[in-house]
């Protein structure tokens, strides 16, 4: 399935890095759990980092800071970016990064009731699979104090940059300088228990499994 093609999602620069299939969007979203919400609040642009989850149709995110502005159906831009490597070329001009990024546009919808609870489950399970069934569920009071938005994935754009420096076949190749890529990744370290945790409560299997799982990898 192809991604939407609108004036906002059309690739104007570095078109070779653009991806048109929906599977590329899913790959970027699956690889992380922090997004940046771009929104205008009281007439001032604001970019808010927040956690997210997603399903086949929607991106779900916390939006308490911008909830008043989003109530009017304002269009937002949500971005997710993963840096996979530093591209170190022979010339500074050719330096860059290997990355995967996605931008999702649209008017988010505030959720309530069962829809909000279901979205919270998606957020929780996306960041830590198995945690929703392990931990205490939100109370009615906690749920009322939480603002969750759903943003359709219908209008989205994806770009991916990968590979070695681009000056290997140019004049700078004769300089005798090292060039290449320094790979980057985020990994989960072994869990660190809460100091207030009573003795005898071990790390549950689903959390222990996180420590063996690299995050933000290709």
Per 3-state DSSP, the chain is made up of helix, strand and coil in percentages (nearest 5) of 25, 35, 40
Q: What is the pLDDT of residue 215?
A: 62
What is each CA distance from 112 to 139, 147, 148, in whole angstroms? 14, 9, 8
pLDDT > 70 fraction of the chain, expressed in percent and rounded: 89
Lookup result for tokens 């620069």: 13
Q: What is the pLDDT of residue 17?
A: 67
pLDDT in tens, 155-197: 999 999 999 998 888 899 999 999 999 999 888 888 999 999 9
Q: What is the pLDDT of residue 59?
A: 97
Q: How far apart are the first and last CA of the chain?
A: 21
Q: What is the pLDDT of residue 2?
A: 78
- What's the chain's average pLDDT? 89
Q: What is the pLDDT of residue 61?
A: 95
Q: What is the pLDDT of residue 29?
A: 96
| Closest among 155, 126, 157, 213 to 24, alpha carbons compared | 157
pLDDT range class, residue 8, cuts 50, 70, 90: confident
Domain over 15-84+95-163 is classified CATH 2.30.110.10: yes
pTM: 0.88
Does residue 217 register a pLDDT over 60?
A: no
pLDDT range class, residue 12, cuts 50, 70, 90: low
pLDDT in tens, 48-91: 999 999 999 999 998 776 676 676 778 999 999 999 999 999 99
């Amino acid at each position: 399935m192809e991604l939407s093609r609108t004036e906002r999602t059309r690739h104007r620069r570095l078109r070779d890095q653009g991806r048109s299939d929906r599977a590329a969007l899913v790959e970027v979203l699956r690889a992380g759990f922090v997004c940046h919400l771009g929104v205008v609040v009281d007439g001032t642009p604001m970019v808010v980092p927040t956690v997210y989850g997603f399903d086949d149709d929607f991106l779900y995110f916390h939006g308490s800071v911008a909830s008043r502005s989003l109530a009017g159906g304002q269009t937002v831009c949500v971005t997710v970016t993963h840096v996979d490597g530093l591209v170190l070329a022979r010339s500074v001009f050719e330096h860059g990064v290997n990355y995967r990024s996605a931008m999702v546009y649209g008017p988010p919808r505030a959720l309530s009731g069962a829809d909000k609870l279901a979205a919270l489950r998606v957020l929780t399970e996306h960041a830590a699979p198995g945690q929703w069934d392990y931990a205490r569920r939100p109370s009615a009071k906690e749920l009322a104090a939480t603002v969750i938005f759903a943003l359709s994935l219908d209008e989205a754009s994806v770009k991916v940059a990968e590979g070695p420096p681009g000056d290997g076949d140019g004049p700078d190749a004769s300089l005798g300088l090292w060039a290449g890529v320094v790979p980057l990744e985020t990994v989960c370290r072994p869990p660190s228990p809460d100091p207030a945790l009573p003795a005898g409560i071990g790390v549950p299997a689903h959390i222990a499994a996180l420590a063996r799982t690299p995050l933000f990898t290709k």
